[in-house]
Structure 1
Amino acid sequence: MGKSIVPSGSGGDDHIESVDLKQALEERYLAYALSTIMHRALPDVRDGLKPVHRRIMHSMRLLRLNPDQGFAKCARIVGEVMGKFHPHGDQSIYDALVRLAQSFSMRYPLVDGQGNFGNIDGDSAAAMRYTEARMTDIATELLAGITEDAVDFRPTYNEEDEEPVVLPGAFPNLLANGSSGIAVGMATSIPPHNVAELCKAALHLIDHPDAEVEDLITSVPHEDPDENMVRGPDFPTGGVIVDSHASILEAYKTGRGSFRVRSKWAVEDQGRGTYHIVVTEIPYGVQKSRLIEKIAELLIARRLPLLEDIRDESAEDVRVVLVPKSRTVDPEILMESLFKLTELEARFPLNMNVLSRGKVPGVLSLKQVLREWLDHRKEVLVRRSNHRLNEIVRRLEILGGFLIAYLNLDEVIQIIREEDEPKPVMMARWDLTDLQAESILNMRLRSLRKLEEFEIRKEFDVLSEEKAQIEALLASEQKQWKTIRWEVDKLRDRFSSTTELGRRRTQFADAPEHDLEDIQQAMIEREPITVVVSEKGWLRALKGHLADYSTLSFKEGDSLMLAFHAQTTDKILFLTTGGKFFTIGADRLPGGRGHGEPIRIMVDMENDQAIVTAFVHDPSRKLLLASYAGNGFVIPEADVIANTRKGRQVVNVKAPDEAKFCVPVVGDHVAVVGENRKLLVFPLSEVPEMGRGKGVRLQRYKDGGICDIKTFALEEGLTWQDSAERTFTRNKEELVEWMAARASAGRMVPKGFPRTGKFG
């Protein structure tokens, strides 16, 4: 008989348990979320480490990989971490270890690596069997006092061993090295900072516990760099931060914000008026090889008309050479266009979401982070002092027993020789403790010399004095803070601006103010084009300036509406019947092959609207806008630019009225013709200048609407063309009978005026 697949018991479905799916999912997802937040993605505010990094540090200490010892294979370290403390993939542990050793990732590396640990180009490290590692001095600072009951330990995942809950952290690692991680429903992103500045701010916070974030930040740099408090991030790769002091302060106050980091560059003179631009520092976290590839792609796509070539001449240091198109190119404008299009400028987010007291995730301000670190240091100091005190008390107890033994040496020897159980006899004879009696019995014969007694008395006095000092320290909070202050001051001196590791790398500057137009132009190759707009709203741009439009082909049922010459650097403005203006860069128009694309693909234009006109933007002009019903106003052309796909509503019209005309303002008078063939001429000064609206009535009609409108200089007279393209001009005197106030009905057009009712 085959094995039954039903569990043992009576019925087959007796052991099936019903579970509410919603509740089960909530519970399990919450458990997963908490696990990710607590044990993977968020760093602890006290030592700035995530569990995997803490376990690597702890394992390296157990393997005795101190800075003054030899290196060990990384595979050995990873094996130790994985086997004892961190039951996850070896590759993820090795990746974390590698990052701790990279000088371009960590501002203050915690691991001293030997071998290939990757590079700024994004190449990965060699396999763990080839690389070796040991701790740096900074790692030993983080671990200082771990054997002296400075922190709590907890059982490891298999409960065979113990691991520290947090490291003693005599180094402000969270802010010094930064951290980033994505948990469930929350993320963290903290940039690296300068330790000397952090220490100075911490000292200020010890002296002035009520200090605000403003007091911990230096706005104007001090002559002595070591006197600066926190100025902003200090990235291992350098760069230049171009944010205002106000935005930096706001970020540190709220714990949220971002920093704009630009590459550091300089102009190198090549003689004969030519130059190269050399980039020596790139933003933190940017892979150099990807950056250069992106710039090369933009070059090939002709998006960088001011740049001729890019070369990577980096060795140990970063050296990227940019060759301009010609000597006349402004290096500032060239770099601004590169900052806009490439990762030569990057934003580094600040989100100080950390585990406060190792338990509660929350976004902290700069002051709160420093406060929690200092409080942790105080707790570590008290715990280490208590541990040392217990050791001293135990040792003094032993020494006290030794001194009694020396005073009664003959009797002690006699008891040991004659008694079967000497220990209880000695304890009763001299009122000794168990520890003292045991220590006397364990004494070696060689230590019975007279000199040894002298040494014991000396040690007893020294320890008694140390005990009194520790007890005084534990009794006074003021003394505790004084000790922490001394420790932080010592750390600041170790990483002062005179040291290679302590020198500030990231600089601060104001972003140069350039005309956005100039930068926009610098990103587009300037070429002549002909813009073609069809009746049904299809757009295209043909290369070159065409003279003959009769050869243009269109979709069936479509025809030419208008065509005009432009440059690829121009902005093209479109006015729709709904009174909206849209702006499209000439470089973004579809090419001349085929019939182009409908305008509705490029902008959010309503289906019931059509294009009234299109033209090249000239910010120096003014426009006269008119609706079919005969209302209108003047607007500066610079005010109709739309920066989004949604366009800009300028003429307010309600159906059945619609925007009908948009003509550039020239001269000082307006001539308007209605569909009733009545002409009215009035001064332009009677039309108001507005930013948006319905406008004022230009001409009054009983029925119908406007047919054409024109602005002109009265001194030069009003001109029009007939169907045979003959030009007619009426001078000032001849126009007198048509001149009247705005909003009049006008008079019938003069003899010879085109039948179309248009000025031509």
Structure 2
Amino acid sequence: MSSEIPNPDDNDVQAAQVMSARIEDEMEQSYIDYAMSVIAGRALPDVRDGLKPVHRRILYAMHEAGVTSRSSHRKSSSIVGETMGDFHPHGDSAIYDALARMAQDFSMRVPLVDGQGNFGSVDGDPPAAMRYTEARMSPIAEELLADIEKDTVDFQSNYDDRLTEPEVLPSAFPNLLVNGSSGIAVGMSTNIPPHNLGEIVDATIHLIDNPECTIEELMDHVKGPDFPTAANIVGRNAIHQAYKTGRGRIRVRAEIDVEQDAKGNDERIVVTELPYQENKARLIERIADDVNDGKIEGIRDLRDESDRDGIRVVVELKRGASAEIVKNQLLDNHLESTFGVINLALVDGQPKVLDLKETLQEYLKHRREVVRRRSEYDLGEAEDRAHILEGRLTALENADDVVELIRDSESRDDAKEALMEAYGFSEAQVDHIVSMQLGSLTSMEAEAIEEEYEDVQATIERLNEILDDESELLGVIKDELRDIKDEYADERRTSIIEDTGSITREELIPQEDVVVVVTEDDYIKRMPATTFRAQNRGGKGIIGTDLKEDDQVSSVFFANTHDYLLCFTNHGQVYQLKTYEIPEMSRTARGKSAVNVIDLDQGEEIEAVVNTDEMDEDEFFTMVTRDGYIKRTAVDDFSNILSTGIRAIRLEDDDALVDVEVTDNTRDIIIATTEGMSIRFDEDEVRAMGRTARGVRGIQLTGDDKVAGVAAVEEDRHEWLLTVTKNGYGKRTDIGNYRTQSRNGKGLIDIKTTKRNGPTCAIETVAPGDHLVAMSETGQIMRTRVDEISTVGRNTMGVIVMDLDDGDHVAAVDVVPAARASAESEKDVETDDAEEPAAEAE
């Protein structure tokens, strides 16, 4: 079998050499090449001029086309076409988007393009088509291109090698910090906020004068980002972090004012400044959605009154709504955003995260090179001009001989050679001399040439000083920066306000005493305690809730909106509840399902509520059950309560938790039963137990008797035991009438539970000035001073406390401490003609 030599003319000739490569290595290298192409060629700005290639090419194309701030506006489509055809072959859409952004005063701190037409809005409206809009360079954009024709920057070939384009613009001011930049590359992104031009110039000059200065010293000049849409930066710590590390998260908050309406009756919230890059139209939609969903309450109307003069979003409030609460809710959810600073830019073609000082140092390094190259260019031009002027001056000094020599020459070339031989002129000099007009031989012309020569010599001397002395060169940079500041800088727009901490929902809720009602069908609501004025005892009270058919009130308790409550249920569970989480509703409203607030099981009812703000670590929860068991458990055991609750006591034989008191190892305990018995003993007789324990016997029950409640007696306090029965009767009895016994006894008679009175409903220890809040099963609620209730002995029937309709009973009671009870004036006290039954003697 013979081998054949391939024919070079054959189309199927194999490669002379085949190289093997691992596909993962090839993919890795190809991806890195692609990533660097995107990073350097599209997505990231150059630290020197703060521009991405597309922005740089747009401005250079406008410069080449003469579309400056002094020319007329040019169709955007023309500018885009020239940029795309000569420098940026990546599609007209990308070029026009970049052009439009440079014209938006809400995107750029100092717009680089002067646009005419619709270039978009803060509502997210897109610019009009490029065939409808016109543009030209803004005056400050020309400062980025100033002296570009003086060999100040390097040029490179364009994409098809027909033309050249600048690698970077001379940039007479630190545009990267002034206008900021944002972009997403492959594996990295940049997000640089805009700043105030005057502050950045001051910081740059300070760095020139103090090269070893710290970032903190630079921050004496640069207060923080300065957004074109103004608004407020919250706190300074994030600014410091961003400037020191190149990364940070800055909170930006809208500017909000509270105004009165035209009649001076209702308040309105007016938003006049929005966080940077916030879409106003979408913001208003989100607020409206939250209002409709009930997430934000108190807003009656929402409208946009913005015009060419600025932003104005008006939030009309409902009558009685708190402007401060609504304002903070809007801030918490909508009117505050976070600007994530990533100060990433290209340094020598490589991406690098820079702090504030490094950014300015890189700019100054570039600017020094620009001024040096410009000075060298100007020096060369000046020296060439001086050389020409020297020849002209020599010719003027020998005007007669020069004229005669030229006249005697047969041709211009002969004249040049004769002049060069006679006076040692250079070729450039004789070119000018033979072109001189006779009019230039006058004395005035000669004087003008001498003056120009002196000026050129002074220029040469100055340029040499700049090139030979670094301080002179830096002085030129400073002078030029000051000129730009004087011409273009404006006042700071974004304010920096102190960070008072994150706003919690609790802080939005005013402190207010409320009455909370829970029904057996698990409806719950809260009402201001001021809704219920103190009445004389024996009244009917007023309606406190609207009940469904076959529903009835199961519990009522008094609390403050900022209280953290522990709710103990008949099933022996305990739940944690924040009062302000309970929906506030009118007294004639039914309430809302409790499942949204507290996850109760079927048949589970709240039996006792304890305010955690009033507890100390060394205290105990003392719990009693329906069957007479008592247990004490340390407060610390209830530090971590799940949303689904935790077990507070173990119940057996269908027993149920009835009541809970907080004790401190110094109290006496009184347990009362439904049939009017009571027992008092020292709490030390009940040892502390864990949450899952059942407890010990507290009282011996006879027959069908059950425990009604428990009370804790505080030493050195003038107290009575208040007993309330199901039929609305009650009495106060001095604590001293209840002698101390050992636990697990039968106790003494507390109250006569006759057919008139009904069984005991609840007991409480009360003091002068306390108020009693009682609520019936049908929803009637009454508030009265405990001083209105007669003080009698133990074995008595008591007096009427609440006048109930037939078939109605007291469902629950609570006591408002004197310190929190509202003082009632005489006109607020309601009287009742019901005759008070006489108290029976013991």
Q: 8 Å contact 1:143–1:168 — kept in the other structure?
A: yes
CA contact under 8 A between 1:567 and 1:586: conserved in structure 2? no
Residue matched to 1:255: 246
1:8 to 11, 34, 37: 11
Q: 2:351 aligned to 361, 375, 390, which one? A: 361
Does 2:383 match 1:393? yes
CA distance in 2, matches of 1:421, 1:685: 135
Measured in 1, the distance between the counterparts of 2:47 and 2:133 equals: 31
Report which stretch shifted further, 407-416 or 385-394. Answer: 407-416
8 Å contact from structure 1 (residues 254, 364) kept in 2: yes
Cα deviation for residue 719 of structure 1 reads 9.9
Residue 215 (structure 1) shift: 1.5
Aligned to 1:305: 297
Give the match for residue 417 of structure 1.
410
TM-aligned CA deviation for residue 296 of structure 1: 1.4
Which residue is equivalent to 2:683?
Answer: 683
- What's 1:295 paired with? 287
State how 1:370-409 maps to structure 2 within 5 Å: 370-406=360-396, 407=398, 408-409=401-402
State the alpha-carbon separation in 1 of the partners of residues 455 and 187 from structure 2. 56
d(CA) in 1 for partners of 2:368, 2:708: 83
Q: How many angstroms apart in 1 are the aligned matches of 2:58 and 2:267?
A: 49
- 1:326-381 deviations in Å (ceiling 9; x for gaps): 2x433222211110121x2222222212223x423222222222222233222211
Cα deviation 1:545-570 (Å, max 9, x = unaligned): 68689789xxxxxxxxx999999989
- CA distance in 2 between partners of 1:368 and 1:648 (Å): 55
Q: Is structure 2 residue 635 aligned with structure 1 residue 634? A: yes
Residues 594, 315 of structure 1: CA spacing in aligned structure 2 closer, same or farther, 3 A cutoff?
closer
1:485 is aligned to 478
| SS of the residue 1:382 aligns to | helix
Deviation at 1:517, TM superposition (A): 4.8
User: CA separation in 2, counterparts of 1:734 and 1:20?
Assistant: 95
Q: Which residue of 2 aligns with 1:91?
A: 93
Distance 2:547 2:126 in 1: 58
Aligned to 1:23: 25
SS in 1 for 2:152: coil
Looking at structure 2, the residues matched to 25 and 626 of structure 1 have their Cα atoms a distance apart, in angstroms, of 72
Identify if the C-alpha distance between structure 1 residues 578 and 349 changes in structure 2 by more than 3 Å, giving closer, same or farther: farther
Return 112-121 or 363-372, whichever deviates more: 363-372
When residues 479 and 515 of structure 1 are mapped into structure 2, their CA distance, relative to the original with a 3 A threshold, is closer
Letter in 1 for 2:93: Q
Q: 3-state SS of the aligned residue for 1:268?
A: strand
Contact 2:298–2:318 (CA<8 Å) still a contact in 1?
yes
**Whole-Å separation in 1 of the counterparts to 2:379 and 2:410:** 36
Give 1:503's aligned residue. 491
1:400-446 per-residue CA deviation (whole Å, 9 max, x = no partner) reads 344455535246525752587766665555444443455556x2556
Aligned partner of 1:712 in structure 2 is: 711
For 1:379, the aligned partner's letter is: E
User: Is the contact made by 2:343 and 2:354 (CA closer than 8 Å) also made in structure 1?
Assistant: yes
Give unpaired runs (5+ residues) of structure 2.
1-9, 527-543, 585-589, 624-628, 651-656, 672-678, 698-706, 714-718, 727-732, 750-761, 764-842
1:738 corresponds in structure 2 to: 742
C-alpha contact (below 8 Å) 1:633/1:687 kept by paired residues: no
User: Mind listing any 5+ residue stretches in structure 1 that lack a counterpart?
Assistant: 1-6, 219-228, 497-501, 534-538, 553-561, 603-610, 654-659, 673-678, 702-707, 723-728, 740-746, 753-758
| Match of residue 51, structure 2, among 49, 52, 57 | 49
State which of 469, 476, 489 in structure 2 corresponds to 1:476: 469
Question: How far is the alpha carbon of 1:99 from its aligned partner?
Answer: 1.0
- From the superposition, tell whether residues 720 and 14 of structure 1 become closer, same or farther in structure 2 (CA, over 3 Å): farther
* C-alpha deviation, 1:114, in angstroms: 0.8
Q: Counterpart of 2:58 in 1: which secondary structure?
A: helix
Query: Contact 2:668 / 2:712 at 8 angstroms: preserved in 1?
Result: yes
Query: Cα 1:204–1:598, aligned 2, differ >3 Å: closer, same or farther?
Result: closer
Which amino acid in structure 2 is aligned with residue 340 of structure 1? D
Report deviation, 1:180: 1.5
**CA deviation map 1:62-87 (0-9, x unaligned):** 11112121110000111111111111
Preserved CA contact (<8 Å) 1:405 1:412: no
Which of 457, 472, 489 does residue 464 from structure 1 map onto? 457
**Among residues 107, 124, 128, which one is paired with 1:126 in the alignment?**
128
1:194 has 2:196 as partner? yes
Contact 1:631 1:698 in 2 (8 A): no
Among candidates 325, 340, 343, match of residue 318 of structure 2: 325
Q: Distance in 2 between matches of 1:564 and 1:686?
A: 29
Q: How far does residue 749 in structure 1 lie from its aligned partner after superposition?
A: 8.1
**Residue aligned with 1:310, SS:** strand
Q: Residues 89 and 737 (structure 1 numbering): CA distance in 2 closer, same or farther, change over 3 Å?
A: same
Counting matched residue pairs gives 671
SS of equivalent to 1:311: strand
- 2:49 aligned counterpart, secondary structure: coil
| Range with greater deviation from structure 2 (366-375 or 73-82) | 366-375
Task: Quote how far apart the aligned CAs of 1:204 are.
Answer: 2.1
Q: Would the alpha carbon gap of residues 578 and 36 (structure 1) be closer, same or farther in structure 2, given more than 3 Å must change?
A: farther
Counting only pairs closer than 5 Å after superposition, residues 644-659 of structure 1 correspond to structure 2 as none
Q: Is the 8 A contact 2:266 2:318 kept in 1?
A: no
What is the CA–CA distance in structure 1 between the aligned matches of 2:647 and 2:147, rounded to whole Å? 71
Residue among 315, 326, 341 paired with 1:334: 326
Query: Secondary structure of the equivalent of 1:45?
Result: coil
> 1:631 deviation in Å?
8.0
Q: Is the 8 A contact 1:532 1:564 kept in 2?
A: no
SS of structure 2 residue aligned to 1:665: strand
The equivalences for 1:33-72 within 5 A come to 33-72=35-74
Alignment match, 2:341: 350
What corresponds to 1:284 in structure 2? 276
Q: Decide whether aligned partners of structure 1 residues 87 and 662 sit closer, same or farther in structure 2, where only a CA change above 3 A counts.
A: farther
Specify the code of the residue in structure 2 equivalent to 1:60.
Answer: M
Q: Distance in 2 between matches of 1:17 and 1:732?
A: 106
What amino acid does structure 1 have at the position aligned with 2:333? L
1:712 is matched by which residue type in structure 2? A
Matches of residues 535-684 of structure 1 in structure 2 within 5 Å? Answer: 585=581, 618-622=611-615, 624=620, 632-635=633-636, 663=660, 665=662, 668-669=667-668, 682-683=682-683
Alpha-carbon contact 2:51-2:176 (below 8 Å) kept: yes
CA RMSD of aligned residues (A): 5.3
Q: 1:662 to 1:717 in 2, by over 3 A?
A: closer
Counterpart contact for 2:608–2:658, Cα < 8 Å: no
For 1:393, give the aligned amino acid.
E
Tell me which amino acid in the other structure corresponds to 2:480.
E
Give the letter for the 2:170 counterpart.
P
> Percent identity over the alignment?
35
Contact (CA 8 Å) 2:637, 2:690: kept in 1 or not?
no
Whole-angstrom distance in 2 between the partners of 1:411 and 1:580: 122
Residue 733 (structure 1) shift: 8.8
Question: SS where residue 339 of structure 2 aligns?
Answer: strand
Counterparts of 1:175 and 1:338, CA distance in 2: 31
From the superposition, tell whether residues 266 and 420 of structure 1 become closer, same or farther in structure 2 (CA, over 3 Å). Answer: closer
Residues 1:214 and 2:205 aligned together: no
Q: Structure 2 counterpart of 1:633, which letter?
A: A
Give secondary structure in 1 for the equivalent of 2:171.
coil
Matches within 5 A, 1:224-243: 229-243=221-235
Query: CA deviation digits over 1:545-601, x for unaligned, max 9?
Result: 68689789xxxxxxxxx999999989887899999977795579xx9999979999x
Question: For the residues of structure 1 that align with 2:35 and 2:206, how far apart are their CA atoms?
Answer: 38
